[in-house]
A and B are shown apart, each in its own frame.
Chain A
Amino acid sequence: MSFLSLVRIEHQKVRRSKIFLILVLATVILWIPSVLNADLNFGMQAVGISPENSFFIQGFMAMAWFLFPAAMVVITVLQNQTERNDHGILKMLSLPVGTAKLCMAKFAVLVSFSAVQFLMSAGMYYISAAAASRTQGYAFCLPLFFIFKETGMMWASAIPMLAFFWLLAVCIRTPVFSIGIGLASIVPSVLMINTKIWFAYPMAYPFFVITSEYGKLAENLNTAPVRLVPWLPAAALITAVCLIISCLCFGRAERR
């Protein structure tokens, strides 16, 4: 069985799970305050950022710091619950599919959901920017290419974090622990992006990327620039380690 058809099966498993509802809800909740408080973007002279850039950056910072990681923790829980409730995993393990392949297919589904979340956010950004332009009489919309570049970069930088969450969900079987550790690990990223070892903390990556972009867009703000070394090697190492361990652990408890 090809990897792609396995991914398709995994997508099928989360049907009717209202997962899109959660993603939509998260996106809507993210942008509503931005539209309501759009006037605050005109008072950013101290930072030296234009209102339209400020509108964009505030929304995506809120997303990258907490909402997006938290939504991903919830999705990993969902993926595992559908498998473990009613022992679906046992059936899967009794079928001729490699467990590592199965594990990776599920991770691929997680990555695809994260992409959907970013796409929705970009779409919702344009809707809310248009709404804010209306209410404030000021053009808030930024060029499409810029938005795609930024969301794309945040999404790519989130992959090591997703690998870590996936590791938690696979290896920690007690739901309260995997959820708790996942959510708790998000909170310190505010502290971590201000330290020299931020690259060792994957949960801080998307937030670091957008914060660094903030520094570029705001004249009077100094944020650490994105340096690919040692970030890229560290990220690749973390991702690989997390995925290898989760593939090794996947389904182990059920096969005992």
Chain B
Amino acid sequence: MNLMRLELEKIRRTGFLPAFLGGGILAAAVPMANMAFRPELYTGLSDPPVSILLGANWQMMSMLNVLLIVAGACVLYYIEYADNAMRKMGTLPVREGSLFFGKAAVLILAGTLLLAIEAVSVCGCSIHWFSRAAAPSAGILKSFGFFLLMLTPAALLSLTIASACRNLWTSLGIGVVCVFAATMIPAQDFALTLFPFAMPFQTLGNHAADVIRNYAIAAAAETAVIVLLEVIILKVRRAFA
């Protein structure tokens, strides 16, 4: 908790929170705009409204989410490297990994904020455009809980990349290339969609229950592996310092 408060203090005036707020609003505007422009395409479908809305818009919304997460991760470490603050941190009595965990907590919190804004928008759309949407809340909570879980490995991996590269644009370039590679992965290939940057594009509606369980297990396993990777990077860096 204390770690996270420290990291929250450090991101003042970097535009981190406004960027996530703005990004969340932009992503939330996607389903609204889509419904406002062409309601006839969707209102006639028989699926549950939340599935229709996510099916039609989640690709674009999740793309915005992942890009924001990548940019956010880069900025979280950019402030450490820009004016040698990282070195000062190195001389203070804290465990090196704690910096990473504090930042991870902030990034996942920011991701939760994004998803919450989007959930409100999807909820609003289903009430406004679909008359039969009496209680979409349970389905939405489930969906967005799943999204948060799917977003976690991508967030941690982009942080790991950002912590490994001193240069803001190197980590950004790698991150963007990874996001792009993720968009090229065919949806039918389960193994390939386990690529951390491809997971946030998955929706509950597209998969059977056992596939969803496998995704959840994979997300947890990837999270553990990425944390281990970061620990190794820190150890190696110290060994060669």
Contact = CB atoms under 8 A, between A and B. Distances in A.
CB–CB under 8 A between A and B in the complex?
yes
A176 B169 contact: no
Contacts of B185: 33
A183 B168 contact: no
Nearest to A67: B180
A71 B176 contact: yes
Contacts of A148: none
B180 A77 contact: no
A61 B185 CA distance: 15
A176 B14 contact: yes
A168 B126 CA distance: 35
A180 to B, nearest CB: 5
B197 to A, nearest CB: 12
A29 B181 contact: yes
Contact of B176 (A33, A70, A188): A70
Interface in B1-37: 14-16, 18-19, 22-23, 26, 30, 33-34
A37 B169 contact: no
A176 B60 contact: no
Contact of B71 (A33, A78, A81, A183): A183
Contacts of B45: none
B184 interface: yes
Given A62-B184, A187-B63, A179 B71 contact: yes
A217 interface: no
B173 A22 contact: yes
B contact face: mostly helix, strand, loop, or mixed: helix
Nearest to A74: B173
Interface range on chain A: under 10, 10 to 19, 20 to 34, or 35 or more? 20 to 34
Interface in B48-91: 60, 63-64, 67-68, 71-72, 74-75, 78, 82
Given A62-B184, A184-B64, A175 B177 contact: no
A244 interface: no
Contacts of B14: 174, 176
Contacts of A67: 177, 180
Interface string B77-120: 01000100000000000000000000000000000000000000
Nearest to B83: A85
Interface string A13-40: 0000010001001100110010001000
A187 B183 contact: no
A95 interface: no
Given A176-B75, A187-B63, A81 B169 contact: yes
Contacts of B183: 62, 66
A174 B184 contact: no
Contact of B19 (A66, A70, A180): A180
B186 interface: yes
Contacts of A78: 169
Contacts of A66: 180, 183
Contacts of A187: 60, 63-64, 67
Nearest to A84: B82
A54 to B, nearest CB: 15
A188 B31 CA distance: 12
Contacts of B198: none
A48 B19 CA distance: 43
A191 interface: yes
A183 B66 CA distance: 11
Contacts of B68: 180, 184
Contacts of A70: 176, 179-180
A179 B170 contact: no
Interface of B: 14-16, 18-19, 22-23, 26, 30, 33-34, 60, 63-64, 67-68, 71-72, 74-75, 78, 82, 167-170, 172-173, 176-177, 179-181, 183-186
Given A70-B179, A77-B169, 10 more contacts: A22-B177, A25-B173, A30-B180, A66-B180, A66-B183, A176-B16, A177-B19, A179-B74, A180-B71, A184-B64
Interface of A: 18, 22, 25-26, 29-30, 33, 37, 62, 66-67, 70-71, 73-75, 77-78, 81, 85, 174-177, 179-180, 183-184, 187-188, 190-191
11 contacts: A66-B180, A73-B176, A77-B169, A175-B75, A176-B14, A176-B15, A184-B23, A184-B67, A187-B67, A188-B60, A191-B34
